Amino acid sequence: MNKPFKEKVQQVDIPALGLRNYWYPAIARWRLGSRPKAVTLLGEKIVLFRDDGKVYALADRCSHRGAPLSMGKCLYRGSGTLSCPYHGWTFDGGTGKLVAKLMEGGESPLPARAAVKSYPIHEHAGFIWLFVGDMNPVPFPTDLPECIADDSKWFSISNWRTYKCNWRLVMDNLAHDQHAPFLHRESPELLFQPIFKHATRNSTELLEDGTGIGHHATHGVHVTHYEGLGPFPPPQEAWYRKLKPSGRGKDMDSTSAANAKFGLKFRHMNMLPSIALIGRPSGNFFTCRLVTPIDEETTILYNFNLFRRRGSIIALLNSLKWVFWSSWAHDWLFSDQDKVVVERIRPGPELLSKTDVGLTAWRWFMARNARRAEPEALSSEVVPQIVEH
């Protein structure tokens, strides 16, 4: 079914400022207080403000003389408007329309072309989400995986990190490229267990609903041998890996609870626009990572730890484990091993290999299926598998 192909997608073929026409998290709800707040998403400068409990988002540049609206104020509470700090041009938060020029009196004309761009907004899972693009918004939470979209069944503990590099490098890192057994082998979280299985045979499949791809990795081993060098992991690292011989739980296969009970076929999936969804065979925990382009040299990685709601006792235990263990062992130490490398990658020619089957498939999927202002039918082809030497 999955044949090698040669239609390689280079990093530079993916838009440097991100895939448009998707919902992205913009800021944690608690960080937006009573004052307007400037954010940047996909290179666009945006002002968020809250009035009468509702949140609004407008382009952060007054159409009059270019002052940042984020330095302005909500002078008329309850009206959902924001006034520019410079001459008081006042815009409706919902539509972006100019509703008053406060220096000119009530009779002054309010031309339609004075409107600023307004952004569709949704508050969900502790964040304010914006639809950034050039078309009518798709309903929220289209595109989000069920485990984060449906908070009646799941709850989340989330955090975020700013990467000083282009989003494509962060996305590549999350496309199942087999870096984990190497880069993270000395992470405290994994130190006293065998190295992740590696030297796998990888393949990729379309998710059944066409929203992304899922990754398979089979035939992996805990130790490999290299002529002239010796075994990997190298001898000096081997002894302390034997304290927990079972490693990090079982593989995910058709007998796993995730698969058998919940129909979740993959341990690692990628979904548009820039989501990595990585789960446990139990089907009760997923980490959902949203790679959010800020500008060409800045990315915010939102990390949602998602727990299936299974009663308050289990929720309490899940939360305690996160607070006392995963928050620092995984979300901080483990993830920062990626961060220090990814931020220092020097873009240029690549030589993609067996480990990059997932990466290559995911780039191909993004390039082919990303939503466009002129929507196309989603591809129903199988995902091509690049195996290349």
Q: Where along the sequence are the contacts to a copy of itself (CB under 8 A)?
A: 45, 61, 63-68, 71, 75-76, 79, 81, 85-88, 90, 99-106, 108-109, 111, 113-114, 172, 177-179, 181-183, 198-199, 221, 224-230, 232, 234, 340-341, 344-356, 389
The residue among 156, 183, 185, 188 whose CA lies nearest residue 172 is: 183
Shortest Å, Cβ 325 to a copy of itself: 25
Q: Please give the Cα distance from 239 to 231 (Å, whole number).
A: 13
**Nearer to a copy of itself among residue 221 and residue 243 (C-beta):** 221
> Facing residues of 49 across strands?
56
**Nearer to a copy of itself among residue 11 and residue 256 (C-beta):** 11
Shortest Å, Cβ 358 to a copy of itself: 12
Shortest Å, Cβ 66 to a copy of itself: 5
| CA angle at 266 for the pair 265 and 267, rounded to the nearest 5° | 135
Shortest Å, Cβ 160 to a copy of itself: 23
**Nearer to a copy of itself among residue 315 and residue 345 (C-beta):** 345
Phi-psi category of residue 125: left, alpha or beta, with phi > 0 → left and psi -120 to 50 → alpha:
left
**Nearer to a copy of itself among residue 28 and residue 238 (C-beta):** 238
Shortest Å, Cβ 99 to a copy of itself: 7
Identify the burial level of 219 via C-beta atoms within 10 angstroms of its C-beta, where 0-12 means exposed, 13-18 middle and 19 or more buried: exposed
**Nearer to a copy of itself among residue 8 and residue 309 (C-beta):** 8
**Nearer to a copy of itself among residue 80 and residue 281 (C-beta):** 80
**Nearer to a copy of itself among residue 136 and residue 224 (C-beta):** 224
**Nearer to a copy of itself among residue 182 and residue 262 (C-beta):** 182
Q: Please give the Cα distance from 119 to 57 (Å, whole number).
A: 5
CB 248 within 8 A of CB 190: yes
Shortest Å, Cβ 351 to a copy of itself: 5
**Burial annotation 230-262 (CB, 10 A radius, 16+ → b, else e):** eebbeeeeeeebeeeeeeeeeebeeebebbeeb
Long-range contacts of 345-351 (CB under 8 A, 24+ apart): 345/165, 345/169, 347/11, 347/12, 347/166, 347/169, 350/10, 350/11
| CA angle at 211 for the pair 339 and 336, rounded to the nearest 5° | 10
Shortest Å, Cβ 55 to a copy of itself: 20
Long-range contacts of 45-48 (CB under 8 A, 24+ apart): 46/119, 46/130, 47/72, 47/82, 48/128
**Nearer to a copy of itself among residue 61 and residue 330 (C-beta):** 61
**Nearer to a copy of itself among residue 183 and residue 329 (C-beta):** 183
Shortest Å, Cβ 380 to a copy of itself: 30
Rg over alpha carbons for the chain, rounded to the nearest Å, is 23
Shortest Å, Cβ 333 to a copy of itself: 15
Shortest Å, Cβ 62 to a copy of itself: 9
